[in-house]
Amino acid sequence: MSVILNWSMASILFFMGIFTFVSSRKHLLSMLLSLEYIVLSLFLLLFIYLNMINYENFFSMMYLVFIVCEGSLGLSILVSMIRIYGNDYFQSFNIL
């Protein structure tokens, strides 16, 4: 029963993150935060799954390393965008 509760809670967290990502499309910072939320909910799903099948947690540590790399890349893009355009609105700059 608790396994089903853990799976459903992690799935609800994932779909809430997707909803937040879709609904916040004006600012880059809010999109990056919602992406990190989605990735952390996926980490929770991965951790529950690996513990359920009694597998080693080394893969989850590698996943956390990739999460940190993705977060630092997103922050560097945000900083360069703020330096060039002055804000993080998507409407203020030309994509082309």
Q: How would residue 92 be classed by pLDDT, with cut points 50, 70 and 90? A: low
Q: What is the pLDDT of residues 27-84, one digit of tens each?
A: 888 888 899 999 999 998 888 888 888 888 788 888 889 999 988 998 898 888 888 8
pTM value is 0.80
Q: Is residue 93 part of a domain?
A: no
Q: Is residue 96 part of a domain?
A: no
Do 78 and 43 meet the contact criterion of CB atoms below 8 Å apart? no
| Measured CA distances, 85 to 33, 65, 93, 96 (Å) | 20, 30, 7, 14
Q: Is residue 76 part of a domain?
A: yes
In the chain, the largest separation of any two C-alpha atoms, in whole Å, equals: 52
- CATH code for position 8: 1.10.287.3510
Instruction: Give the total number of structural domains in the chain.
Output: 1
- CB neighbourhood size of 34 (10 A): 19
Do 35 and 73 meet the contact criterion of CB atoms below 8 Å apart? no
Q: Is residue 19 part of a domain?
A: yes
| Measured CA distances, 18 to 12, 41, 46, 76 (Å) | 10, 10, 17, 23
Please give the distance of CA 48 from its chain centroid, rounded to a whole number: 17
Provide the residue range defining the domain that includes 15: 2-85
Q: Is residue 65 part of a domain?
A: yes
Q: Is residue 42 part of a domain?
A: yes
Q: Is residue 62 part of a domain?
A: yes
